[in-house]
């Protein structure tokens, strides 16, 4: 059974774009349309090898999601990358302090995204 990656974004078109870009990795791709939906999946037993999340979403933000995921059993070292239109250094530092592994600015380059995923999920 292939490893799972969880994509979290409140934009259906972004969920689809990221899923399509990641198909060549062979990973099992799960999607959540909000941070709250992602936490439901995780609390329901989903154990992804990596999480890609948007920063700005209705309800919980990506940074709040990172903080919540880091509190879950077995999720301390799961790579979490923020995929966002934001590029401010202070936001990056806030995300890093919350436990984010990395940061990728939208619009993303599919080849760079795949390379990043392959690096974090060997």
Domain ranges of the chain: 4-120
Whether 10 contacts 32, CB under 8 Å: no
Question: CATH says 4-120 is which class?
Answer: alpha beta
Measure the CA–CA gap between 36 and 79, rounded to whole angstroms. 18
Mean pLDDT of the chain: 93
DSSP 28: E
- Whole-structure pTM value: 0.94
* Rounded percentage of the chain residues whose pLDDT exceeds 70: 99
Residue 1: the pLDDT is 62
d(CA 86, CA 62): 12
In tens, the pLDDT along 48-93 reads 999 999 999 999 999 999 999 999 999 999 999 999 888 788 988 9
Q: What is the pLDDT of residue 87?
A: 79
- Structure token pair of residue 95: 């995300």
β-strand partners of 29: 5
18, 112 in Cβ contact below 8 A? no
Residue 6: C-alpha distances to residues 71, 87, 90, 114 (Å): 17, 22, 25, 14
Quickly state the pLDDT bin for 21 (edges 50, 70, 90): very high
Structure tokens at 20: 């399509």
What is residue 79's predicted lDDT score, i.e. its pLDDT? 97
Banded pLDDT at 28 (limits 50, 70, 90): very high
- Which pLDDT score is estimated for 94? 93
Tell me which residue of 62, 46, 66 sits closest to 4, measured CA to CA.
46
| pLDDT of residue 2 exceeding 90 | no
């Amino acid at each position: 059974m292939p490893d799972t990656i969880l994509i979290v974004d409140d934009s259906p078109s972004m969920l689809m774009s990221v899923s399509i870009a990641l198909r060549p990795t062979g990973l099992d791709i799960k999607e959540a349309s909000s941070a709250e939906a992602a936490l439901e999946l995780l609390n329901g037993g989903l154990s992804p090898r990596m999480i890609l999340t948007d920063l700005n979403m209705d309800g919980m933000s990506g940074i709040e999601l990172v903080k919540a995921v880091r509190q879950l059993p077995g999720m301390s070292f799961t790579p979490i990358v923020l995929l966002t239109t934001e590029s401010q250094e202070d936001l990056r530092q806030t995300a890093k302090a919350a436990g984010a592994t990395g940061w990728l600015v939208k619009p993303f380059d599919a080849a760079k995204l795949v390379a990043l995923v392959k690096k974090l999920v060997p």
